[in-house]
């Protein structure tokens, strides 16, 4: 089973700064089936990115995804106050539905 490891566990930044969140797979991923979700306290997760780099409907273009093989990242170009949340990467597909353990993005 593929394990996804997210880093850092917590990222402290200020509004307006750039955030880069990492998601590393324990083995190379041959499909493009990697997604990112955002979860704010007390709320359900929201789909941000799928197929590594495709933004979901209604997601602002300050969010972008990239990567291949074992290393993937979510970048938020300029942080807005509503972006401070927990972010999860996920492999999806018939062979794996693993979530990473999450990265908490907090206000510095």
Partner 1 sequence: EVQLVESGGGLVQPGGSLRLSCAASGFTFSTYTMNWVRQAPGKGLEWVSFISSSGTYTNYADSLKGRFTISRDNARNSLYLHMNSLRVEDTAVYYCAKGAGSKSWLIDYWGQGTLVSVSS
Give yes or no for a contact between 8 and 24, defined as CB atoms under 8 angstroms apart.
no
Return d(Cα 53, Cα 41) in angstroms, integer.
25
Give the dihedral of Cα atoms 80, 84, 86, 87; nearest 10 deg: 20
Interaction between residue 104 and partner 1 (CB under 8 A): no
With CB under 8 A as the rule, give the number of residues binding partner 1: 23
Q: Is 64 in the site for partner 1 (CB under 8 A)?
A: no
Smallest distance from the beta carbon of 37 to partner 1, in angstroms? 8
Binding site for partner 1 (CB under 8 A): 1, 33, 35, 37, 39, 43-47, 50, 56, 88, 90, 92-94, 97-102
């Amino acid at each position: 089973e593929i394990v996804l490891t997210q880093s850092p566990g917590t990222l402290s930044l200020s509004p307006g700064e750039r955030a880069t969140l990492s998601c590393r797979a324990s083995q190379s991923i041959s499909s493009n089936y990697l997604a990112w979700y955002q979860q704010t306290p007390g709320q359900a997760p929201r789909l941000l990115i799928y197929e590594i780099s495709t933004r979901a409907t209604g997601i602002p273009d300050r969010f972008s995804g990239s990567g291949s093989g074992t290393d993937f990242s979510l970048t938020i170009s300029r942080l807005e106050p509503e972006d401070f949340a927990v972010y999860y990467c996920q492999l999806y597909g018939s062979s794996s539905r693993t979530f990473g353990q999450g990265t908490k993005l907090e206000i510095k």
